[in-house]
A and B are shown apart, each in its own frame.
Chain A
Amino acid sequence: MADENSKTDESTPATLPTHEELVDERLVAWYFLAALAYLFISMSGGFLMAFQLIKHNPLNGIEIFSPGRWRMVHTNAIAYGFLANAFLGMLHWVIPRLTLRPVLDRRLSLFIFCAWQFVVVATAVGLLLGQAQGLEWGETPVWIDPVAQLGLLLVAINFMAPIMKQKGPMYVTLWYFVAAFIWTFLTYAMGNFVPEYFVSGSSAGAVGGLFIHDLVGLFVTPLGWGMMYYFVPILLKKPIWSHGLSLVGFWGLAFFYPLQGIHHFLYTPIPMFLQYGAIMSTIAVELVVLTVVINFFGTLWGDGRQFWDNLPIRWFYTGMVYYFLTCLQCSLQVTLTFQALIHFTDWVVGHAHLVMFGVFSMWLLGVMTYLFPRLLKQEWYSQTLCEWHYWLSAGGMLVMASDLILGGLFQGWSWAALQPWDASVEISQPFWAVRVVSGLAIFGGQLAFVYNLYKTWQLSRVRLS
């Protein structure tokens, strides 16, 4: 029956290419390694800021180590260094295997890899030298913006080439990826150029709101969901519960997501109808998310044991539970009443960590856990270290997010009671101390992973020789 399907599929080339013809494994591994390096740089920035907040900054007074600058390195290195690199590595594996066609040009892939590392390093250096652009999440110095924009265009061209040759119905992963290439390009242009050169004041604020949210929703989310729709069925060895429902989720995201960004700026001078519009489209996206979550849990149905026995699946589904939690948080955040309480508090920082690390990084780390042994053709050196990696990451994240979310509520109540600002800083101290401890647990988890990877690589060398 399955053979029948593949024979009749018009999108498949006549002869089956080999995996080596399709996938440049070396490049996938390089992307993953670069991503891990930036993850450590980013976490170091996080610690610097975290220590500053508990008044124990070990590098106090040194301009280049200013926590304000390292905070920007923290977020930019995560978005453009860790997430972008890890996603690019994953795309080099998934797209050729799904379309049975290699990317447009392997030399172009190599060029993009080098160019992207230049963009990320130059961004970090620019930020540390005080050249940040005054736009949240778009702090990349203005002179790097055109280079990054060009890089995104090349990425889109390189990956769209095999996808465009597909004929007949397309698998949902490819729909998400196509959308991500277009959206990321447009979102980056909108956020980095429109407020800088074309509009100002509240208008620039509104565009900034669209940008920060669209960066999560139209760059990270489609790549993340697309990736899950590929890896979950492969690991569970059964198709996704409903392909039709997955497409409902995709088109729902396409139409409802782009308008929500303004929900970051409720109670601002932006006209109320736009704020209400953002709230309504957020509610619509909540329903869309529900279809996606139902689909994935429907797929796991009957195979619950795999959650415990299959480590990548555990990473994926833990990320999905966290995803559901972030969306639940969102449904509270988006109401004007609740927003009045939590705006500017650590509730939002907790939410940001939950979604960026708890969801997308967990998925990517799960993908790496699955792919590294295939790339190195060697089983993991230590399953125990793999378990430590998972538990320290998942547990550390749970503690960090709950701590910041709770701390945020106390800060909000303190401000609502018109307490002086200093009082809210004082009550935050225990919460900020717990953040450092949970951060150390997450950091320890990643150290275990990198050590395990190094030993696995050594074993693979020995086997080869």
Chain B
Amino acid sequence: MTSPPANRQRTMFIVTAVLAVLILVPSGVGFVNKLFEFYGVIKGEASGAFAFTPVVNYLLASMGFLCLMLWAIGHGMFHDIERPKQTMLETERMLDEQRATEVDS
């Protein structure tokens, strides 16, 4: 694969960076704000701790998937990302051909 010309690469970088800042900064601020609110609920209300249960449930499940994702990245699971769709069709074809030969014979 040939890499795009340098000026196009630079434009792509600028667009990605601007979008990242525009999206990530407000979401980050919102998220941190929500964390403070969450802390306030847990601390402030007598029954606030019950809000904790579903969030902890969620975090436990998501942590597992975050670890799985990092593991997958580390093990090259996303390299050559379009290859598995070809391989899968190919193995199917081979299995079917083999089966057809068996049935014929």
Contact = CB atoms under 8 A, between A and B. Distances in A.
Genuine A/B complex: yes
B44 to A, nearest CB: 11
Nearest to B80: A169
Contacts of B78: 169, 247
Main SS of the interface on chain B?
A: helix
Contacts of B79: 169
A19 interface: yes
Contact of B86 (A5, A168, A186): A5
A18 B86 contact: no
A273 B51 CA distance: 9
Contact of A258 (B34, B48, B58, B87): B58
A258 B90 contact: no
Nearest to A96: B95
Interface string A169-184: 1111100000100110
A202 interface: yes
Contact of A273 (B41, B81, B84, B93): B41
B94 A16 contact: yes
Nearest to A270: B51
Interface string B4-39: 000000000000000000000000000000100110
B61 interface: yes
Interface string B31-70: 0001001100100000110110111011001101100010
Given A16-B94, A234-B92, A274-B54, A9 B87 contact: yes
Contacts of B57: 190, 207, 210, 258
Interface of A: 2-3, 5-6, 9, 11-12, 16, 18-19, 22, 97-98, 100, 168-173, 179, 182-183, 186, 190, 194, 199, 201-203, 206-207, 209-210, 230, 233-234, 237-240, 242-244, 247, 251, 254-255, 258-259, 261-262, 270-271, 273-274, 277, 377
Interface of B: 34, 37-38, 41, 47-48, 50-51, 53-55, 57-58, 61-62, 64-65, 69, 76-95, 98-99, 102-103
24 contacts: A2-B90, A9-B87, A12-B91, A168-B77, A169-B77, A169-B78, A169-B83, A171-B88, A182-B64, A199-B50, A202-B47, A203-B50, A206-B50, A234-B92, A239-B82, A239-B88, A243-B83, A243-B84, A251-B69, A255-B65, A258-B62, A262-B54, A271-B41, A273-B37
Given A18-B98, A243-B82, A251-B69, 5 more contacts: A5-B90, A97-B91, A179-B65, A239-B82, A247-B81
